[in-house]
């Protein structure tokens, strides 16, 4: 007879059955932690008889939460009663019920990062501060909130930060305006919940009684406030089960504290379990990962292993330039696709997204489908945010940020000067912005006041409709009465895309009503808390920073730009803590690969307007001792006359012609492509006409370099390029 713990290995089973008290599981990449979490929850509910509503499971992305829910639904009849959510969603849910305790209305707005920065920008303008401070102020305030600091505490603890006194003033005014707008930012969702629990013992006790068994995934990514929330919620039953991997702690820049895992053992007296068996990657890939991460000191030691076999040896590839690097990536992908792989099997990962330009150019040239992950998310697109702003105002009349966004969209002749006058009137009269646009503002001319009044009438009409409509019907009415589609009536490709996005928004609202049947507030909360990790990439190659690829896996992974100054970043060289985080980033990148791994670097790279010489990353030598000499040599000489020094599949490269063991050097052969001498005019089916610059052989492959009349120099594989002589 099947049991709730079927399919767990020995280490997973031991952790799953340990249900009382505090437990810490260090789960290496690909070690089956989601399986452990879901089966443990099933065991608690089905075998121990604990009601499902007494169980809490916290993840870090909506996508991870949905995956966990789906797995629980397959194991449990009453899985819907389990709270499975992100930290932010959990806190938003709690605050909706108890916001009044801390002086907020239940219908508070949640500001995105963009909306928060817009408000800070306005405050900087009002305080006559230097406008260049906006970004820095936003980041510093966010850090302070994640650390649980008030403006005064921020000054005390961040005393060495530039312009900290000015930022403290901005922070104070920012919080005042948020509260006046009945709004919170992302960081507030955590901070205000902590404040709520600290202020009301009654509220905290009710959730401690409710959540008798607490589970937290990706615990290494918790910041100070999240750690504090966990301590408060677990103060009742003491049954707290956390899973994490400090080797994958890569969010120190946004407040994550890698020491929380080690602190947890001491603070809770937790029992420790290790998951070291990997179900994702081949042994050859894990060997590199283990060697790399052992160079970090801030970690609980573990060694990943697998029964999946050795697999293909990882390939290290040196290109002369970023163009050669991109050609190698694209040509390798095309070859593997011809062998049966699909575009979605591939990920190209990088430390900084500035490296995508050349790669994207090559992907377009060869018509390879791709997606740059972490670009504009659907709900961040202008037309979508405009509709959302109308809905936010209908939900929360005090949301001034949303009001000022839509007061002149679509254009109705209400400029910034008018908006400033309305703000001044509100400050003098004590009225809200919403009240002002529904009344008479004496400082406005009659003609301008007529335009403002028309806007107020539009909002009143929509308010009336809200009372009888669901969120999908209300969205349609907003688009209709505000004339949002008409704002994009000009027949352009961009406007066509925007109108399709508007239709997609309405579809998402209908889907929400069908599946959730929730309120306008619930819909807005879901839209606002939507994260980049929730987007699907489809059947295309995935181009991404390593940060955005966290938690994902691919059959074939390319790590590009493995150079000092890029990976690791320059600033990490003199900071041991930052260098360890950079190493963890490389570890995360390596462990995304299931079958094949390629790591590339260049002799020189054109970035930020200059061609710079490159030095291979120190991480290459840490992964393979035979590659240490690459980092030790500040200057490298390219092999041959072509663009590459290439390692055939299953072999590694060395520099300078000294092969060792499994290492092989492949030098450019003399050109064997005499059919296309330099100066030959040719035509390509896609790129048009051009002139041959030269040809070369790399291993068994032949390449031709053509200067096309319209798009410039491109290197093509003769085996694939559709070219003909003119």
Cα-atom radius of gyration of the chain, to the nearest Å? Answer: 29
Burial of 197: CB neighbours in 10 Å, binned 0-12, 13-18, 19+? buried
Q: How many CA atoms lie within 13 A of 425 on its CB side?
A: 20
Catalytic residue among 185, 218, 383, 563: 218
CA-nearest of 401, 436, 392 to 181 is 401
Instruction: Calculate mean pLDDT across residues 459-474.
Output: 89
Alpha carbon distances (Å) from 640 to 509, 631, 654: 59, 21, 14
- What interhelical angle do 62-75 and 33-42 show, nearest 10? 50
Tell whether the model's pLDDT for residue 541 goes beyond 80: yes
Q: Is the pTM of this model over 0.85?
A: no
Pairing verdict, β 109-111 and 346-350: unpaired
Instruction: Calculate mean pLDDT across residues 176-188.
Output: 94
CA-nearest of 10, 15, 61, 62 to 38 is 15
Tell whether the model's pLDDT for residue 275 goes beyond 80: yes
Alpha carbon distances (Å) from 515 to 63, 509, 638: 16, 10, 58
Rounded CA separation 358/326 (Å): 7
Phi, psi (degrees; rounded to nearest 5) at 223:
-100, -175
Burial 23-34, CB ≥16 within 10 A → b, else e: bbbbbbbbbbbb
Rounded CA separation 716/702 (Å): 9
Catalytic residue among 12, 26, 33, 222: 33
**Is 34 one of the annotated active-site residues of the chain?**
yes
pLDDT at res. 638: 30
Please tell me whether the peptide bond between 568 and the residue prior to it is cis, using omega within 30 degrees of 0: yes
Please tell me whether the peptide bond between 412 and the residue prior to it is cis, using omega within 30 degrees of 0: no
CA-nearest of 194, 196, 302, 290 to 244 is 302
Q: What is the pLDDT of residues 646-694, one digit of tens each?
A: 333 323 343 222 222 222 222 222 334 567 888 888 888 767 888 888 7
Distance of CA 86 to the CA centre of its chain: 14
pLDDT at res. 355: 84
- Give the whole-number percent of the chain exceeding pLDDT 90: 47
Residue 141 corresponds to which tokens in the numbers above? 């305030």
Rounded CA separation 282/280 (Å): 7
Confidence of residue 504 (pLDDT cuts 50, 70, 90): confident
CB 563 within 8 A of CB 599: no
Q: Which helix or strand (DSSP H or E) is residue 707 part of?
A: strand 701-708
Instruction: Calculate mean pLDDT across residues 255-282.
Output: 90
Confidence of residue 377 (pLDDT cuts 50, 70, 90): low
Catalytic residue among 187, 217, 224, 246: 217
pLDDT at res. 717: 64
Rounded CA separation 670/642 (Å): 10
Place of tokens 């969702």: 189
Rounded CA separation 181/116 (Å): 12
The more confident residue out of 212 and 664 is: 212
Residue 470 corresponds to which tokens in the numbers above? 């669901």
Residue 606 corresponds to which tokens in the numbers above? 């054109």
Tell whether the model's pLDDT for residue 720 goes beyond 80: no
Rounded CA separation 37/34 (Å): 5
Count the neighbouring beta carbons within 10 Å of the beta carbon of residue 620: 24
Burial of 414: CB neighbours in 10 Å, binned 0-12, 13-18, 19+? buried
Q: Is 247 left (phi over 0), alpha (psi -120 to 50) or beta?
A: alpha
**Torsion angle of the four alpha carbons 505, 511, 514, 520, in this order, in degrees rounded to the nearest 10:** -40
Tell whether the model's pLDDT for residue 589 goes beyond 60: yes
User: Range with the lowest mean pLDDT among 209-218, 310-319, 375-384, 689-698?
Assistant: 375-384
Residue 569 corresponds to which tokens in the numbers above? 């970043």
**Residue 318, SS3 per DSSP:** strand
Tell whether the model's pLDDT for residue 432 goes beyond 80: yes
The more confident residue out of 576 and 212 is: 212
Instruction: Calculate mean pLDDT across residues 457-467.
Output: 90
Q: What is the DSSP string of 682-702?
A: EEETTTEEEEEEEEEEETTEE
Instruction: Calculate mean pLDDT across residues 317-332.
Output: 91
Residue 604 corresponds to which tokens in the numbers above? 């020189």
- Give the whole-number percent of the chain exceeding pLDDT 70: 87
Catalytic residue among 5, 19, 34, 262: 34
CA-nearest of 358, 372, 368, 370 to 714 is 358
Residue 450 corresponds to which tokens in the numbers above? 């007529």
pLDDT at res. 608: 58
Place of tokens 């099933």: 42
Contacts of 409 (CB under 8 A, 6+ apart): 386, 487
Phi, psi (degrees; rounded to nearest 5) at 314:
-60, 150
**Is 592 one of the annotated active-site residues of the chain?**
yes
Rounded CA separation 601/326 (Å): 10
Instruction: Calculate mean pLDDT across residues 592-609.
Output: 87
Confidence of residue 207 (pLDDT cuts 50, 70, 90): very high
Rounded CA separation 411/183 (Å): 26
Residue 23 corresponds to which tokens in the numbers above? 């437990």
**Is 248 one of the annotated active-site residues of the chain?**
yes
Count the neighbouring beta carbons within 10 Å of the beta carbon of residue 689: 13
Contacts of 469 (CB under 8 A, 6+ apart): 477
**Torsion angle of the four alpha carbons 542, 216, 286, 636, in this order, in degrees rounded to the nearest 10:** 60
E-strand ranges in 278-374 read: 315-319, 346-350, 370-372
User: Range with the lowest mean pLDDT among 23-27, 58-62, 482-486, 630-634?
Assistant: 630-634
Instruction: Calculate mean pLDDT across residues 501-522.
Output: 80
CB 19 within 8 A of CB 283: no
pLDDT at res. 340: 93
CA-nearest of 686, 606, 724 to 365 is 686
Q: What is the DSSP string of 496-543?
A: HHHHHHHHHHHHHHHHHHHHT---HHHHHHHHHT--GGG----SSEEE
CB 603 within 8 A of CB 638: yes
CB 169 within 8 A of CB 178: no
Catalytic residue among 192, 299, 302, 592: 592
Helices in 542-627 by DSSP H: which ranges? 546-549, 576-590, 618-623
Q: What is the pLDDT of residues 400-427, one digit of tens each?
A: 999 999 999 998 889 889 999 999 999 8
Q: How many CA atoms lie within 13 A of 610 on its CB side?
A: 3
Q: How many CA atoms lie within 13 A of 253 on its CB side?
A: 11
CA-nearest of 132, 138, 104 to 118 is 138
Confidence of residue 597 (pLDDT cuts 50, 70, 90): very high
Tell whether the model's pLDDT for residue 295 goes beyond 90: yes
pLDDT at res. 655: 29
Instruction: Calculate mean pLDDT across residues 622-634.
Output: 70
Classify the C-alpha dihedral 432-433-436-437 as positive or negative: negative
């Amino acid at each position: 007879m099947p049991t709730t713990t079927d399919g767990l290995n020995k280490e997973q089973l031991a952790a799953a059955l340990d249900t009382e008290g505090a437990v810490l599981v260090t789960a290496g990449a690909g070690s089956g932690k989601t399986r452990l979490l879901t089966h443990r929850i099933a065991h608690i509910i089905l075998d121990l008889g604990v009601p499902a509503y007494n169980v809490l499971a916290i993840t870090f992305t909506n996508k991870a939460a949905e995956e966990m829910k789906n797995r629980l639904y397959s194991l449990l009849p009453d899985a819907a009663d389990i709270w499975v959510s992100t930290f932010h969603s959990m806190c938003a849910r709690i605050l909706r019920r108890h916001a009044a305790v801390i002086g907020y209305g239940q219908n508070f707005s949640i500001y995105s990062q963009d909306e928060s920065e817009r408000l800070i920008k306005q405050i900087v303008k009002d305080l006559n501060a230097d406008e260049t401070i906006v970004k820095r102020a936003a980041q510093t305030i966010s850090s302070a909130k994640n650390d649980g600091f008030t403006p005064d505490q921020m000054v005390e603890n961040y005393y060495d930060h530039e312009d900290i006194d000015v930022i403290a003033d901005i922070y104070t005014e920012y919080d005042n305006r948020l509260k006046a707008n009945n709004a919170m930012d992302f960081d507030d969702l955590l901070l205000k919940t902590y404040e709520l629990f600290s202020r009301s013992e009654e509220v905290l006790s009710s959730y401690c009684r409710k959540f008798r068994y607490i589970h937290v995934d990706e615990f290494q990514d918790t910041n100070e406030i999240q750690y504090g929330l966990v301590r408060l919620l677990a103060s009742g039953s003491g049954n707290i089960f956390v899973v994490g991997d400090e080797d994958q702690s890569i969010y120190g820049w946004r407040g994550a504290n890698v020491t929380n895992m080690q602190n947890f053992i001491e603070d809770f007296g937790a029992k420790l379990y290790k998951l070291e068996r990997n179900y994702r990657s081949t042994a050859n890939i894990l060997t590199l990962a283990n060697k790399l991460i052992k160079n970090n000191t801030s970690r609980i030691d573990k060694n990943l292993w697998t029964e999946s076999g050795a697999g293909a040896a990882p390939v290290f590839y040196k290109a002369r330039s970023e163009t050669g690097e991109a050609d190698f990536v694209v040509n390798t992908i095309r070859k593997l696709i011809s062998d049966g792989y699909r575009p979605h099997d591939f990920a190209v990962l990088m430390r900084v997204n500035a490296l995508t330009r050349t790669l994207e150019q090559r992907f377009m040239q060869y018509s390879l489908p791709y997606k740059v992950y972490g670009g504009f998310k659907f709900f961040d697109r202008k037309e979508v945010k405009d509709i959302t702003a109308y809905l936010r105002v209908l939900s929360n009349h005090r949301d001034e940020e949303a009001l000022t966004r839509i007061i002149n969209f679509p254009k109705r002749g209400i400029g910034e000067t008018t908006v400033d006058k309305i703000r001044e009137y509100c400050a003098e009269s004590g009225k809200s912005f919403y009240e002002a646009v529904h009344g008479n503002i004496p400082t406005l001319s009659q003609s301008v006041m007529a335009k403002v009044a028309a806007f107020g009438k539009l909002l009143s009409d929509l308010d009336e409709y809200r009372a009888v409509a669901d969120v999908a019907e209300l969205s349609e009415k907003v688009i209709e009465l505000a004339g949002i589609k008409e704002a994009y009536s000009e027949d352009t490709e961009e406007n066509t895309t925007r109108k399709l996005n508007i239709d997609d928004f309405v579809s998402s609202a209908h889907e929400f009503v069908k599946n959730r049947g929730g309120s306008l507030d619930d819909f807005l909360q879901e839209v606002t808390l939507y994260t980049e990790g929730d987007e699907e990439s489809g059947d295309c190659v995935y181009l991404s920073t390593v940060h955005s690829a966290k938690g994902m896996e691919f059959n074939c992974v390319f790590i590009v730009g493995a150079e000092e100054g890029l990976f690791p970043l320059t600033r990490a060289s003199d900071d041991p803590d930052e260098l360890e985080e950079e190493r963890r980033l490389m570890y995360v990148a390596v462990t995304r690969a299931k079958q094949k791994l390629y790591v590339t670097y260049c002799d020189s790279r054109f970035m930020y307007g200059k061609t710079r010489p490159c030095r291979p990353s120190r991480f290459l030598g840490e992964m393979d001792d035979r590659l240490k000499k690459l980092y030790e040599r500040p200057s490298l000489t390219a092999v041959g006359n072509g663009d590459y020094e290439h390692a055939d599949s299953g072999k590694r490269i060395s520099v300078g012609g000294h092969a060792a063991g499994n290492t092989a050097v492949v030098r450019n052969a003399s050109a064997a492509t005499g059919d296309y001498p330099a100066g030959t005019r040719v035509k390509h089916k896609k790129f048009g006409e051009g002139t041959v610059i030269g040809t070369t052989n790399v291993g068994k492959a032949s390449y031709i370099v053509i200067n096309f009349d319209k798009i410039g120099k491109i290197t093509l594989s003769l085996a694939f390029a559709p070219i003909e002589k003119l």
